[in-house]
């Protein structure tokens, strides 16, 4: 939706493309802000909701209104895009899943969280006195969410072809946002106390009102703290081709000694096939399975088994070979 189109919708009271109904995102945002104590009163009129959120200049909506609430930012806002991929292994040579989505900031935040929930590798550990294995994500979900919020709120939307990127590998997760750091801020300062100078102040105000951020320059410090509290290494902040990269690394862990009871039947069968010690190609494994799984399904199973420390691999693509890491690690 164009900015002029958004202005026309407000002027005409239209509600199809910008969500101007009593149950829409604008009003939910105002209700959230009121509930969080960050707005003095809730409103029932959508135009007044935009005004409360500082998204009107006079009677005209600003560009932050499009980024925050437009149902369809295309074709005039192609930078409102999210690109996500779950890669096989530790390089971009092959992927298990990929998504390319457009939408407003809150839609993209929700989609990114769903993607991470679906694709984050899981680790297993045992605690003294408990027979059951404890499964938990290999990367801290709360810190990842904070990084997503920061990327959506603070990226450089002036870069017409920019985007948010979420890349999940076996050994790391990277969240990349278009644009270098603003106002002379350096990467090293992200892990120290620094003043809040948001690049997108109106959008930051919306995120603040909804309780998603604070306006004290603590977003990156909170990401670091959440990683520490979850027992994970500190994230890495860096610049790559003019974009900001936040890289999450897994904590050290030992592969589970008794994992198969928590695996799917097909994954247990894959481990059983590999018991002979051979190095198997994926098509050879597939030929031993009934019903025969689709190639992407088998690749995801193998990636999961590798993330659990149960299998290893060498090579790439169709020529990759897979083998059991230790026969003693499996107990059916």
DSSP codes joined into one string, 153-180:
HHS-TTSTT--EEEEE-SS-EEEEESS-
Same CATH fold, 260-329 and 81-248? Answer: no
37 compared with 13, residue with greater pLDDT: 37
1 compared with 197, residue with greater pLDDT: 197
Distance CA 128, CA 147 (A): 33
Find, among 307, 330, 329, the residue nearest to 138 by Cα: 307
CATH number of 81-248: 3.30.565.60
Q: Is 321 helix (H, G, I), strand (E, B) or coil?
A: strand
Contact by Cβ (8 Å): 324, 271? yes
Q: Any idea where the domains of the chain sit in the sequence?
A: 3-69, 81-248, 260-329
pLDDT at residue 101 in the model: 94
Digit-coded pLDDT (tens) for 83-131:
999 988 888 888 889 999 999 999 999 999 999 988 887 766 666 666 6
Sign of the dihedral defined by the CA atoms of residues 200, 202, 207, 213, in that order: positive
Q: Does position 78 have pLDDT exceeding 50, yes or no?
A: yes
Distance CA 325, CA 271 (A): 10
**pLDDT > 90 in the chain, percent:** 27
CATH T-level fold of 260-329? Arc Repressor Mutant, subunit A (1.10.10)
**pTM of the predicted structure, to 2 decimals:** 0.66
Distance CA 1, CA 304 (A): 40
CA distances (Å), 200 to each of 10, 36, 62, 157, in order?
22, 22, 12, 8
pLDDT at residue 107 in the model: 92
């Amino acid at each position: 939706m164009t900015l002029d189109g958004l202005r026309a919708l407000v002027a005409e009271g239209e509600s199809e493309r910008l969500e101007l109904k009593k149950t829409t995102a604008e009003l939910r945002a105002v209700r959230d802000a009121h509930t969080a104590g960050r707005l003095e009163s809730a409103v029932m009129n959508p135009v007044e909701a935009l005004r409360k959120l500082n998204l009107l200049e006079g009677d005209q909506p600003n560009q932050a209104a499009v980024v925050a609430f437009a149902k369809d930012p295309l074709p005039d806002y192609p930078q409102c895009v999210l690109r996500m991929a779950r890669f096989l292994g530790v390089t971009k040579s092959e992927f298990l899943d990929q998504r390319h989505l457009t939408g407003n900031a809150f839609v993209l935040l929700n989609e990114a969280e769903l993607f991470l929930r679906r694709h984050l590798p899981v680790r297993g550990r045992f605690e003294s006195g408990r027979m059951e294995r404890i499964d938990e994500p290999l990367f801290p979900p709360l810190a990842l969410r904070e990084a997503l919020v920061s990327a959506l709120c603070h990226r450089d939307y002036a870069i017409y072809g920019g985007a948010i990127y979420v890349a999940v590998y076996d050994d790391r997760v990277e969240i990349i946002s278009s644009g270098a750091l603003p106002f002379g801020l350096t990467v090293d300062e992200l892990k120290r106390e620094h003043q809040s100078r948001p690049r997108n102040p109106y959008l930051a105000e919306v995120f603040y009102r909804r309780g998603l951020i604070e306006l004290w320059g603590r977003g990156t410090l909170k990401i670091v703290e959440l990683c520490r509290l979850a027992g994970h290494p500190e994230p890495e902040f860096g610049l790559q081709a003019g974009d900001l990269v936040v890289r999450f690394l897994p904590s050290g862990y030992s592969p589970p000694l008794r994992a198969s009871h928590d695996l799917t039947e097909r994954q247990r069968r894959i481990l059983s096939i590999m018991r002979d010690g051979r190095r198997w190609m994926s098509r050879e494994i597939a030929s031993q399975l009934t019903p025969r799984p689709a190639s992407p399904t088998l690749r995801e199973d193998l990636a999961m088994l590798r993330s659990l420390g149960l299998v290893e691999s060498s090579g790439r693509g169709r020529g990759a070979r897979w083998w059991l890491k230790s026969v003693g690690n499996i107990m059916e």
